Amino acid sequence: MRATLAAASLLRHRARTLLAILGVAVAAAMLLDMVMLASGMRESFRQLLMSRGFELRLAPKGTLPFDTDATIPNVASISSTLRSNPDIRLISPVLGASIHVPVGERTVSSAVLGIDPLVQGDYEMTEGRDVTDMGSIVVNDYLLAQLGKRIGDTIDVATGYDPQTRTYAGRRPLKISGRVRFLYGAAEQSASAMRRETLEAMGGPRDRASLFMISLAAGADAERVRIWVERTFPNVTAISIATAIASVDERLGYFRQLAFILGAVSLFVGFLLVTTLVTVSVNERAGEIAVLRAIGVARSHIVQQIVIEGVVLSVVGALLGLGLGLVTARYLNTILSDFPGLPVAIDFFLFQPAAAWTALGLLVASGIGAGVYPAWRAASLPISTTLRREAIA
């Protein structure tokens, strides 16, 4: 009965109800996007770090991986000590450098990683084969386009450029054996990888690494291993998934603040919109409500009917806003993904069912709250005075 009366009241003014639903849908879309932004970026970064199963990363003391040109010496000794810990399953030392490839009258430069292909966690193969020998190199799509080459072509690769003498530390022809997608690289960033032994033979620092990636045994406590590593090797910083996420939260905390502020504003706008519409509806039906009270309809029934109207507007608007929010989130994500230096695999807006339910729950609660004041006002109308005023009017 109460739901039927609420539906009849909303359908009586279809245009106004439709506009209110659309307004709530826009507010719901913004709220969903802000909830996705606040939690999605963090979850996306966590998934990226865990995508290859490496829970710890070792960088030179006081730096993040590849933030500087600093390296960690004594790779062989460190690797041997790390393998003595039963909680450590795999060790992947990575050496970073730059390469230069002459193409006609110009030179194409690129970042390069010296890796062990059996335990690397920096890229995924998309075509061809990995660097199984010292004479091969794999490149990303952006570098391949810059070189104007194809898989199977041989390129002249130089490393260690000295700007004063305009000479290179090492030079070697390498065969492009495969095309890869670097997990932590930006969209328009030239990147490549070769065996670490090859990079060292071309003049790179010997027995050094820019980064160690460590995979732990099943059930191992990452925090305990991290503390052990930093105590054992005072010249390195051990970064776990938790500490990496904390660092990202600190650097990009303004995104979360922005999401919270805009989400609160959109929720408040939706609340005001529903409150205004329901209040106007109650004012128009004051005589009808007084008649219902006069014939014995309980105040609680009047309150429930009006609250149902607010909830219906919020729920229908929220469901429409869910679809609208997903569309706008995808569009905004493509814009923010072009942020310089940001890994292409990072999503600012990551859909999570929990986020959608949170937004929907907040809007339903907002709808209930929006109906409280109009319902209380309707239930408090003096019956005789209201009927007399309506009769005169």
pLDDT, one tens digit per residue, over 9-65 is: 666 667 777 877 788 888 888 888 887 777 777 777 777 777 777 889 998 987 777
pLDDT at residue 224 in the model: 92
Q: What is the overall mean pLDDT for the chain?
A: 81
pTM of the model: 0.68
| Residue 352, pLDDT score | 75
How far, in Å, CA of 60 to CA of 355, rounded? 37
How many beta carbons lie within 10 A of that of residue 324, not counting itself? Answer: 19
> Closest Cα partner for 247 from 50, 45, 40?
45
Q: Which of 39, 26, 30, 27 is nearest to 347 (CA)?
A: 39
Q: Is 187 exposed, middle or buried (0-12, 13-18, 19+ CB in 10 A)?
A: middle
**Residue 187's pLDDT is what?**
67
Condensed to tens digits (0 to 9), the pLDDT of residues 316-374 reads 888 888 888 888 888 877 777 666 556 666 777 777 777 777 777 887 787 777 777 77
Task: Tell me the β-bridge partners of 172.
Answer: 157
- CA distance readout (Å), 121 to 149, 213, 219, 258, 330: 25, 8, 20, 33, 28
pLDDT digits (tens, 9 = 90+) for 82-110: 999 999 999 999 998 889 998 888 889 99
Can you read off the two tokens belonging to residue 268?
A: 């408040």
